[in-house]
Amino acid sequence: MARQKKTIITCAVTGAIHTPTMSDALPYTYDDIAQQAVEAAEAGASILHLHARNPENGSPSVDPNDFAPFLPRIKQATGAVVNLSTGGSLTLSIQDRINPAKTFSPEMCSMNMGSMNFSFHPLANRYGDDDWKFDWEKDYVANSDQNIFRNTFRDIREAAKTLAPHDIKFEHECYDVGHLYNLKFCMDIGLFKAPIFIQFIFGILGGIGPEADNLIFMKRTADRLFGDDYRWSVLGAGGAQMSLATTASQMGGNIRVGLEDSLFISRGKLAESNAQQVAKIRRIVEDLGSQVATPGEAREILDLKGGDRVAF
């Protein structure tokens, strides 16, 4: 891996795992998503990883109409890179899932590198039947023990081919060691071009766990498979968020925080906003001697097409 000087902070603003009941801070209206995204950028995030939600009840949405209201506002208010999720549904087809990216042609979008169990059903036990704010939430969480996050080799190829004309840089989300091998396979058949950007993800039930040992192992496997052809970032889910981000930054990596990945600011204490998490990790990282990348620096490090070439 080529050494880089600055640390890119990505903020994943709302995601599709957590539900409104779990935290009042979780944004799901167009306004809230826009505002929290902008504030996260102001706090130091140079990439905004975005999902949409149904503004009425907060349920995950991959409908471009649910992205349209906030994308231009974010673009206007900040120079941060917009990164759209293509993993926002566990039931819809890959074509539905990449529809927002196809529609808005962002600088970046996520690309999940394998199929896996993706479960958060133990969270359901924390809430009584009357605690849920919206109808859909309980089943959504409790039944996630049936989830398969579907990303077959054919799905990946289809997504890559469809999006190729858009010159989008992918955030290759890798939840386990095998996903790195999958990514290598896809590079070898020409689906992606260097430098690729890998998001190592730790602590999802179904993927690799949140120990620092795993981070080191994922990184050195990537070193072996990709040499200088990759850039990397780390996402620790839940309680591992700040800790793994800190370790990653000290290893020369980039980091991702945000309410998609953890609702907390410290043990047992809910974060008030995405910006609060960004500000915290920025403070720690700077205290340890790293510098945070501006959006422009992030664009250079990741070789992005530029904020003027998006379709929103």
The CB density around residue 156, as the number of other CB atoms within 10 Å, is 24
Residue number, 88 or 210, with CB nearest to Zn ion: 88
242 is a site residue for a second copy (CB under 8 A) = yes
Q: Which does 291 bind (CB under 5 to 8 A by kind): Zn ion, a second copy, none?
A: none
Q: State which residue has the least CB distance to Zn ion.
A: 85
Phi-psi sector, 252: left (phi>0), alpha (psi -120 to 50), beta: left
**Minimum distance from residue 15 beta carbon to Zn ion (Å):** 5
d(CA 109, CA 56): 25
Which one, 201 or 298, has the nearer CB to Zn ion?
201
Helices 241-250 + 212-226 axis angle, to 10: 40
**DSSP per-residue letters across 260-274:** TT-SEEETTEE-S-H
Q: How far apart are CA 198 and CA 219, in angstroms?
A: 10
Tokens of 170: 């992918």
Please report whether residue 138 would count as binding a second copy according to CB under 8 A: no
Residues that bind Zn ion (CB under 5 A): 15, 85
Residue with token string 């422009």: 296
Among 65, 91, 93, 146, which residue interacts with a second copy (rule: CB under 8 A)?
Answer: 146
Residue 152 binds what, of a second copy, Zn ion, none (CB under 5 to 8 Å, by partner type)?
A: a second copy
- Token pair of 309 as six digits: 């070439």
In a 3-state reduction of DSSP, which class is residue 105? coil
Candidates 22-30, 76-84, 160-168, 283-291: pick the segment binding a second copy (CB under 8 A).
283-291
**Residue choice 55, 64, 206, 307 for contact with a second copy (CB under 8 A):** 206
Does 3 bind a second copy (CB under 8 A)? Our answer is no
Considering the rule CB under 8 A, would residue 153 count as an interface residue with a second copy? yes
